[in-house]
Structure 1
Amino acid sequence: MEMLERRDTNGIVHLHMNAPGRLNALSDDMLAALQSQIDSLKTDKTAKVVVLSGAGKAFCAGHDLKEMQAGRAAEDKGRAYFQDLFTRCAKVMKGLQRLPQPVIAQVHGIATAAGCQLVATCDMAVAADDTRFGVNGVNIGLFCSTPMVALSRNIPRKQAFEMLTTGKFISADQAVHFGLINQSVPASDLATAAQDLAEKVASKLGSVVAIGKEAFYEQSLMSLDQAYEYTGDVMVENMLWRDTNEGISAFLEKRAPDWPE
């Protein structure tokens, strides 16, 4: 049984975390499997969008606490292991956001701690309406400091801080309201809703979506003046593309553009 299953269909890559007995925890093996797919997808010209889901009762329950506790057996009480673990996890999170393809989280059950971080990291998210989200490490004496990075870049600061300091869970409806996910649907409609969103993205010119995703995150870190200067340069380059010329010409001529598959 593969830790992370991959299925490719018409430009849509489905990555399915397949460790239901561990609630798809971000174990050493799961992080390695995710990183391997990220490395592959970076240069995959056939992939236009990625859908990330989980098997069993939960999307992802965060880090594997049993592995973390086992790390304490080292002479340094686990310091080197913990440092390496959080570095590897951060690399996966940053890698997902830096992929040229948009990544959609298909969420069900629970998404907790680093699992909630994973949802916040994905570019978009669709969840079953009975899903619960939390950064609840504080309940066991471990503040969710690394999950906080993605969470606080997705939802308002006061809501994020309340979740982090109380360990409270929020519902799918609250997650939509706060901006953590794009939509909440009945559990029976979850796969269809995620697929529909993926197909809409995949129907666009992939190179344009890729340049747009990169610019989206880059400009968010800049001042207003810097952002306009940077995105202006991006649009100039985009306008000079053959496929952009063809797309605009096709629109004006009321015909379908002749774009590569």
Structure 2
Amino acid sequence: MPFPKLPPRVAYIRLSNPTKRNALSIPVLQDLKSQIDSALTSRATSRTRQLPRFKSIYLDQLEKASKNPTSTVWDRWGWLVSASEWKKERAGLPDVLVLRSEGPVFSSGHDLKELSRMSRDDVKTLFQLCSEVMMSIRRSPVPVVCPIQGLATAAGFQLAMSTDFPIALPDTQFSLPGAKIGLPCTSPSTAISRRFPPGATYRLLATAEPIKASDYPGAVDVVKVLPDEDPEEALEKRVAAVVERLASMSPQQQAIGKWAYWTQFGLGTTHSDGYEQASHWAARVMALHAKSEDAKEGIAAFLEKREAVWVSKGDPEEPKKAATEVDAPEAQAQNDALSSETGASAAALDVDAPATEVADPATETETDGPTTTTRS
């Protein structure tokens, strides 16, 4: 079914893998990255423009660019501090992005069955791409709205919570199911913990129990559905209202405001709001999870449709019979496409995550964003 028509200067970012419950495979992530880069790449200069990292030290550069168009930092940040330069740099590009998928599942994260067939290099490529997509959304200078029309789990949950305006119906379900297979969703929790209360996020991480959007109306924009109103129509009305409101604002000032908000949010800490650093750090923790015998046993048990016998439990009791299948679409989606941010197969779990060093803010060199795209 086609998505609703958008107003001028608003564009879709389409997550399109409905037959696989919108799993975040390498081709899907590459497509998402390409769409985002296209929306952020100037047609005038072919440069991909992102917000500065959310660190207060960049305010000095923005102030210098604002005061002196001949300064060395003007070429980097002039488009961000000047409304007229923004207009020239982003001519023909959208002022608002809408990330969405179709089907009963927004995204199930990474598909363990697919990952079990991946080479070690493919596993590394997958997680590098996933991180790049999350950070491209996070540092997008134009707001990203995300209608969550169905279940969002693990990396799919992280994707939705990395956007600026996640919107969901009251009964939309979220979960971090990795603990079920001995592979906690540590990396997805970095995004979740920045929207949900810390205690609630930890319960999601530790218990793998699903929640509904209505349980935490402060974390996402929960749509109010009137009696006798069609829920899907209510969702579309709310999305349209948010998009229209954002599109009416000054896009250049929206960009500065987004950067300033998340930067001030982290003032007093070592690494600003910390999401980027936390995401890289958590990836290393995921490698520790993945090397455990329990993680390998959990994945094998899932793929073989049996209960896991955890090595760390000591002498196990007789394995119980497999849990009865549940017909509910949300439960079926979680069982069929149980996902986790490491999501590696038993063979690929021996992959060592590269040691990611956190740069010293005082010496860090800022780049404009992803590799420059040249348009033909």
| CA–CA separation in structure 1 for the residues paired with 2:136 and 2:268 | 24
Which string of whole-angstrom CA distances, capped at 9 and with x for unpartnered residues, describes residues 146-195 of structure 1?
10110111111110000001001111201324x1x122343331122111
Cα distance change on mapping 1:54 and 1:155 into 2, 3 Å: same
| CA–CA separation in structure 2 for the residues paired with 1:221 and 1:37 | 29
Contact kept, 8 Å, 1:41 with 1:99, in 2: the verdict is no
Shift of 1:84: 2.7
| CA–CA separation in structure 2 for the residues paired with 1:184 and 1:163 | 22
Correspondence for 1:184: 223
Shift of 1:83: 2.9
| CA–CA separation in structure 2 for the residues paired with 1:147 and 1:209 | 27
Shift of 1:7: 7.3
The number of residue pairs the alignment matches comes to 214
Q: Report matched runs for 1:227-246 at 5 Å.
A: none
Correspondence for 1:251: none
Amino acid at match of 1:212: G
Cα distance change on mapping 1:68 and 1:7 into 2, 3 Å: farther
| CA–CA separation in structure 2 for the residues paired with 1:223 and 1:41 | 33
Correspondence for 1:15: 13
Correspondence for 1:205: 250
TM-score (norm 1): 0.76
Cα distance change on mapping 1:221 and 1:58 into 2, 3 Å: same
Contact kept, 8 Å, 1:102 with 1:123, in 2: the verdict is yes
Q: Report matched runs for 1:76-87 at 5 Å.
A: 78=120, 80-87=121-128
Shift of 1:218: 2.3
Contact kept, 8 Å, 2:168 with 2:222, in 1: the verdict is yes
| CA–CA separation in structure 2 for the residues paired with 1:170 and 1:184 | 16
Amino acid at match of 1:29: P
| CA–CA separation in structure 2 for the residues paired with 1:188 and 1:58 | 17
Structure 1 or 2: larger strand share?
A: 1
Greater relative CO (CA pairs within 8 A, separation 6+):
2
Correspondence for 2:193: 152
Correspondence for 2:36: 38
**Does residue 1:49 correspond to 2:99, yes or no?**
no
| CA–CA separation in structure 1 for the residues paired with 2:234 and 2:176 | 26
Aligned sequence identity (%) = 33
Shift of 1:98: 0.5
| CA–CA separation in structure 1 for the residues paired with 2:252 and 2:4 | 22
| CA–CA separation in structure 2 for the residues paired with 1:101 and 1:133 | 26
SS of 1:52 mapped into structure 2:
strand
Which string of whole-angstrom CA distances, capped at 9 and with x for unpartnered residues, describes residues 122-156 of structure 1?
11111122210111111122211210110111111
Contact kept, 8 Å, 1:61 with 1:111, in 2: the verdict is yes
Q: From the CA coordinates, give the structure whose radius of gyration is larger.
A: 2
Contact kept, 8 Å, 2:22 with 2:106, in 1: the verdict is yes
| CA–CA separation in structure 1 for the residues paired with 2:150 and 2:6 | 24
Which of 126, 141, 161 is equivalent to 1:120?
Answer: 161
| CA–CA separation in structure 2 for the residues paired with 1:81 and 1:14 | 28
Contact kept, 8 Å, 1:12 with 1:199, in 2: the verdict is no
Shift of 1:6: 11
Correspondence for 2:106: 59
Contact kept, 8 Å, 1:172 with 1:184, in 2: the verdict is no
Query: Pairwise CA RMSD of aligned residues?
Result: 2.2
Shift of 1:8: 6.0
**Does residue 1:89 correspond to 2:130, yes or no?**
yes
Shift of 1:12: 1.3
Contact kept, 8 Å, 2:151 with 2:172, in 1: the verdict is yes
| CA–CA separation in structure 2 for the residues paired with 1:214 and 1:142 | 33
TM-score (norm 2): 0.54
Which of 133, 148, 170 is equivalent to 2:211?
Answer: 170
| CA–CA separation in structure 1 for the residues paired with 2:141 and 2:97 | 10
Contact kept, 8 Å, 1:176 with 1:184, in 2: the verdict is no
Contact kept, 8 Å, 1:116 with 1:147, in 2: the verdict is yes
Amino acid at match of 2:104: K
Contact kept, 8 Å, 1:7 with 1:14, in 2: the verdict is no
Cα distance change on mapping 1:8 and 1:40 into 2, 3 Å: farther
